[in-house]
């Protein structure tokens, strides 16, 4: 998933557009996770003065809020002098809110040595100049490289300065934009090769994106310019995007990169969405939340990793044929036997957004030579509990996973892990020259700094929190209740059905049923994943209580028609909504959820006609 966009499209997003209107992670179990999480994430030791982060970390680790409210912080990189550079983003994914004044790039420096940035400088393109920011950022030969719109540019830094004084030079231009994954994260290796993610425009290369029973385009011509990693030369300028520069293919969205020793390059893959929503005859409702895995790949030149024909099934530990290309719900393998499988796999839809290879010595030896992955968090596990919203460590031995992955840092989201209620969502991760780990948040623009103070056990005696099993049931988050922060139990939705007006032609009982459908208790609907548990909107879907109509006249019948037909080309949001929002609703259920949505958008209006 990217929402991540991070980046996913949302099955019920147009519900809001009506109202808006418009082992791989290897063999670990939720039981073992529950047995260790309390000891692994207990109170901070006395060696952590000033730890104001609210994060849960293994014993011996401490965190501080390095910077805050810098904009929607995506990826970051740290210079040899310890200056943290962050790329921030804007636009419709963030509700078109106003970005901070100044450029989208931010330089942060801790000049006093207190673990917090006391110098902050913005530079680069601005919203006023037509910029929108971006995700990718890197450093090579003392220069800052950054994604901006359809380009990657280079800023030379004067000696002794932390921000440039001259305009940037374009390194590569013409990168594809639009669709489900418009961002361009990248990594630069020691030889100057720049590897650029060009994510897919669609979920699974269907003839009609995210539509019920829509077959895959064959051939998938999208792969000519999307769905892979392209390679360019960071030593050159004025390169132009070309299909001929593709390095690897069959990757839906490689948003995180890790450059390892020995010229090994790893990338994360956001697994596809909506197996049950698009193919309900082949997949059960809970498989929407458990399939497919997120992946860690080792990139090879000319490698094909399977998208869109294949997805990784953690229950079988192999790539299987996608339903758009003749798959039968997970039994057929077909051409997937010839594709490159992942090095490691993680629970479905966690959205791996950023990654860093750990090659320093500050952290205990068990972290050396592995990767830290920032999981942005799921939206489309709804109506089952969302998960992710954490930083995971995956140990490696050369080109393979060498043990279970662990939940290294958690607590970013606060009380509730969901797109609408998460206070912070990890987006990028980077290693500083002293071995400290930096994590970015793209909700409120927070940067965390994590250090090791040496108070915890090391090696085999270390208490860690294993990742939940990739085959855990959809309603099993792998988190012990005793480990949750106080007050983290689900909140009562703000819009109770009993408080809503009723449209003419409906009844209070229908509105109550619609409430249950909306919250995933009936019909398997995933509305909350995009519009939030209280229907006030998320980055993926608008506020349903806002009575602005773009796809109908706002009538009860108009809302029902929009839900039934879906929205193939949203006017504000980049991702389509399939018919019925991807749920399998009968006529009565459709009428009920339409009545509920009508009630949400008519609170405060004149009283509805008397109910029958």
Q: Write the pLDDT tens digit of every residue in 403-437.
A: 999 999 999 999 999 998 999 999 999 999 999 99
Which one, of 163, 175, 145, 6, lies nearest residue 74 by Cα? 6
The whole-angstrom distance between residue 369's C-alpha and the CA centroid of its chain comes to 24
pLDDT tops 80 at residue 604: no
Q: Would you state the pLDDT for residue 538?
A: 76
pLDDT bucket at 288, cuts 50 / 70 / 90: very high
pLDDT digits (tens, 9 = 90+) for 435-489: 999 999 999 999 999 999 986 556 556 789 999 999 999 998 765 433 333 333 3
Which residue in 147, 115, 120, 119 sits closest to 47, CA to CA? 115
Q: Given strand 246-249, what is the order of strands in its sheet?
A: 186-188, 193-198, 228-233, 246-249
Integer Cα distance of 90 and 354 in angstroms: 18
Report whether pLDDT(258) > 60. Answer: yes
Give the whole-angstrom CA distance, residue 466 versus residue 406: 4
What pLDDT is stored for residue 22 in this prediction? 36
Residue 574 is predicted with a pLDDT of: 63
Q: What tokens appear for 213 in the block?
A: 């029973």
Tell me what the mean pLDDT of segment 546-555 comes to: 78
Query: What pLDDT is attached to residue 245?
Result: 98
Is the pLDDT reported for residue 608 higher than 50? no
> What distance, in Å, lies between the first and last C-alpha atoms of the chain?
43
* 354 neighbors 426 (Cβ within 8 angstroms): yes
pLDDT of residue 71: 97
Domain boundaries, the chain: 42-305+342-461
Residue 6 pLDDT class (50, 70, 90 cuts) = very low
Q: Two tokens at 225?
A: 């310019």
Distance CA 85, CA 103 (A): 12
- CA dist 247 and 304 (Å) reads 10
* Bridge partner list, 150: none
Cα–Cα distances (Å) from 482 to 23, 34, 60, 387, 489, in that order, read: 27, 9, 21, 17, 11
Omega cis (within 30) before 220: no
Averaged pLDDT, 594-605: 84
Residue 610: pLDDT band (50, 70, 90) is very low
Task: Please say whether the dihedral angle defined by the alpha carbons of residues 523, 423, 78 and 105, taken in this order, is positive or negative.
Answer: positive
Write the DSSP symbol of residue 330: S
**Per-residue pLDDT at 35:** 34
What secondary structure letter does DSSP report for 469?
A: P
Q: What does the DSSP assignment read for 284-314?
A: -TTHHHH-S-EEEEE--TT-B--TTTEEEET
Instruction: Tell me, rounded to whole angstroms, the distance of Cα 200 from its chain centroid.
Output: 14
What's the whole-number mean pLDDT along residues 356-373? 97
**225 in Cβ contact with 243 (< 8 Å):** yes
On the question of pLDDT at 497 being above 60, the answer is yes
Cα separation of 313 and 326, whole Å? 16
More confident residue, 44 or 571: 571
Q: Give me 437's structure tokens.
A: 């780990």
In 3-state terms, what secondary structure has residue 275?
helix
* Cβ atoms of 269 and 6 closer than 8 Å: no
State the DSSP string of 94-108.
GTTPPPPSS-SEEEE
Q: What is the pLDDT of residues 93-126, one digit of tens each?
A: 787 889 999 999 999 999 999 999 999 999 999 9
Residue-wise pLDDT tens digits, 33-43: 333 333 344 44
- pLDDT at position 29 is 37
The rounded radius of gyration (Å) of the Cα atoms in the chain is 23
Find out whether 575 and 50 touch, Cβ atoms under 8 Å.
no
Mean pLDDT is lowest, of 10-24, 149-163, 540-554, for: 10-24
* Residues 142-199: tens digit of each pLDDT: 999 999 999 999 999 999 999 999 999 999 999 999 999 999 999 999 999 999 999 9
Q: What's the pLDDT band for 609 if we cut at 50, 70, 90?
A: very low
Lowest mean pLDDT among 6-20, 165-179, 244-258, 377-391: 6-20
Rounded percentage of the chain residues whose pLDDT exceeds 90: 67
The CATH superfamily of 42-305+342-461 is: TolB, C-terminal domain (2.120.10.30)
Per-residue pLDDT, 479: 53
Q: Look at residue 368 and give its three-state secondary structure.
A: coil
List CB contacts of 76: < 8 A, sequence separation 6 or more: 84, 85, 86, 87, 137, 428, 429, 430, 438, 440, 447
Nearest to 13 by CA among 256, 203, 254, 206: 203
Q: What is the pLDDT of residue 607?
A: 43
Residue 122 dihedral angles phi and psi, to the nearest 5°: -105, 145
How confident is the prediction for the chain on average, in pLDDT?
Answer: 87
């Amino acid at each position: 998933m990217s929402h991540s966009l991070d980046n996913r499209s949302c099955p019920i997003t147009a519900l809001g557009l009506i109202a808006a209107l418009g082992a791989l992670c290897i063999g670990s179990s939720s039981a073992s996770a529950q047995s260790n999480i309390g000891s692994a994430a207990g109170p901070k030791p006395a060696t952590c003065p000033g730890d104001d982060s609210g994060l849960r970390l293994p014993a011996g680790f401490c965190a501080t809020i390095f910077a805050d409210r810098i904009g929607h912080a995506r990826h970051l990189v740290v210079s040899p002098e310890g200056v943290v550079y962050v790329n921030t983003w804007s636009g419709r994914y963030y509700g078109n809110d106003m970005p901070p004044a100044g450029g989208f790039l931010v330089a942060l420096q801790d000049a006093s040595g207190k673990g917090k940035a006391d110098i902050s400088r913005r530079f680069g393109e601005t919203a006023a100049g037509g910029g929108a920011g971006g995700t990718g950022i890197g450093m090579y030969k003392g220069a800052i490289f950054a994604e901006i719109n359809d380009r990657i540019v280079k800023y030379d830094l004067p000696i002794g300065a932390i921000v440039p004084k001259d305009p940037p030079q374009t390194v590569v231009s013409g990168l594809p934009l639009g669709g489900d994954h418009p961002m361009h994260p990248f990594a630069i290796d020691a030889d100057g090769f720049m590897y650029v993610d060009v994510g897919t425009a669609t979920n699974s290369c269907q003839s009609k994106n995210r539509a019920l029973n829509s077959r895959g385009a064959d051939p998938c011509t999208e792969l000519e310019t999307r769905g892979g990693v392209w390679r360019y030369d960071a030593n050159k300028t004025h390169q132009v995007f070309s299909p001929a520069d593709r390095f690897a293919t069959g990757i839906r969205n490689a948003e995180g990169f890790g450059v390892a020793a020995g010229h090994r390059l790893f990338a994360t893959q956001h697994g596809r969405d909506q197996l049950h929503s698009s193919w309900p005859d082949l997949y059960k409702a809970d498989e929407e939340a458990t399939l497919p895995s997120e992946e860690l790949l080792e990139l090879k030149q000319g490698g094909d990793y399977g998208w869109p024909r294949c997805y990784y099934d953690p229950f079988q530990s192999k790539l299987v044929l996608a339903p758009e290309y003749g798959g039968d719900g997970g039994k057929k393998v077909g051409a997937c036997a010839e594709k490159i499988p992942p090095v490691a796999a993680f629970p479905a839809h966690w959205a791996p957004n950023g990654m860093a290879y750990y090659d320093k010595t500050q952290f205990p030896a068990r972290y050396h030579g592995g990767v830290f992955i920032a999981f942005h968090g799921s939206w489309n596990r709804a109506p089952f509990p969302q998960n992710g919203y954490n930083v995971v460590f995956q140990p490696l031995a050369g080109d393979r996973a060498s043990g279970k992955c662990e939940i290294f840092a958690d607590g970013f989201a606060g009380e509730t892990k969901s797109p609408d209620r998460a206070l912070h969502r990890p987006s990028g991760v980077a290693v500083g020259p002293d071995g400290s780990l930096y994590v970015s948040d793209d909700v409120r623009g927070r940067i965390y700094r994590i250090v090791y103070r040496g108070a915890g056990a090391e090696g085999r005696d270390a208490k860690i929190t294993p990742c939940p099993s990739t085959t855990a049931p959809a309603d099993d988050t792998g988190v012990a209740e005793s480990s949750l922060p106080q007050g983290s139990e689900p909140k009562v939705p703000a819009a109770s059905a009993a408080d809503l007006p009723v449209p003419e032609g409906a009844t209070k009982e229908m509105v109550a049923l619609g409430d249950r459908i909306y919250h995933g208790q009936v019909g398997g609907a995933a509305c909350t994943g995009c519009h939030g548990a209280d229907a006030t909107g998320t980055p993926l879907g608008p506020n349903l209580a806002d009575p602005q109509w773009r796809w109908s006249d706002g009538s009860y019948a108009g809302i029902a028609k929009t839900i039934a037909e879906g929205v193939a080309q949203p006017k504000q949001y980049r991702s389509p909504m399939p018919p019925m929002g991807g749920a399998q609703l009968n006529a009565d259920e459709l009428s009920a959820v339409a009545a509920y949505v009508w009630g949400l958008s008519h609170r405060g209006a004149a009283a509805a006609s008397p109910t029958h």
